[in-house]
Amino acid sequence: MENEIKFTEDELRDIKTIQDNGYTLVSEFGQLEIERFVTNRKLQELDQMREKLEAQFFSIQERERVLVQSLNEKYGSGTVDIESGVFIPNK
């Protein structure tokens, strides 16, 4: 073709460099989104585990409250030595 213009080696190298950089960025953005997805999924799992542990914690607290109330009604207020199993009433 008569109107054909050929780029210089420097121009072609610049075009190729910009194109390669663009492809690299697209790839890195994709990898970043995958990492975000995996991280968000893990955070959701951790939130579910936390909710489960919180429920267990509050359940144990309630069981402790009921037990203490029952023991106080039976023995009065005092302290318990868990190692010896001895109850020491308050004076």
Give domain status of residue 3, yes or no. Answer: no
- The domain in which residue 75 lies consists of 9-89
Map residue 79 onto helix, strand or coil.
Answer: strand
Give domain status of residue 67, yes or no. Answer: yes
Is the sign of the CA dihedral 72, 77, 81, 87 positive or negative?
negative
User: What is the C-alpha to C-alpha distance for residues 40 and 77, in angstroms, rounded to an integer?
Assistant: 49
Domains contained in the chain, number: 1
**pTM listed for this prediction:** 0.61
Report phi then psi at 4, rounded to 5: -75, 135
- pLDDT tens digit at each of 91 positions of the chain: 678 999 999 999 999 999 999 999 999 999 999 999 999 999 999 999 999 999 999 999 999 999 999 999 999 999 988 999 898 898 7
Give domain status of residue 4, yes or no. Answer: no
User: What is the C-alpha to C-alpha distance for residues 56 and 85, in angstroms, rounded to an integer?
Assistant: 26
Q: Which pair of structure tokens corresponds to residue 30?
A: 């994709």
**C-alpha of 56 from chain center:** 19
Give domain status of residue 76, yes or no. Answer: yes
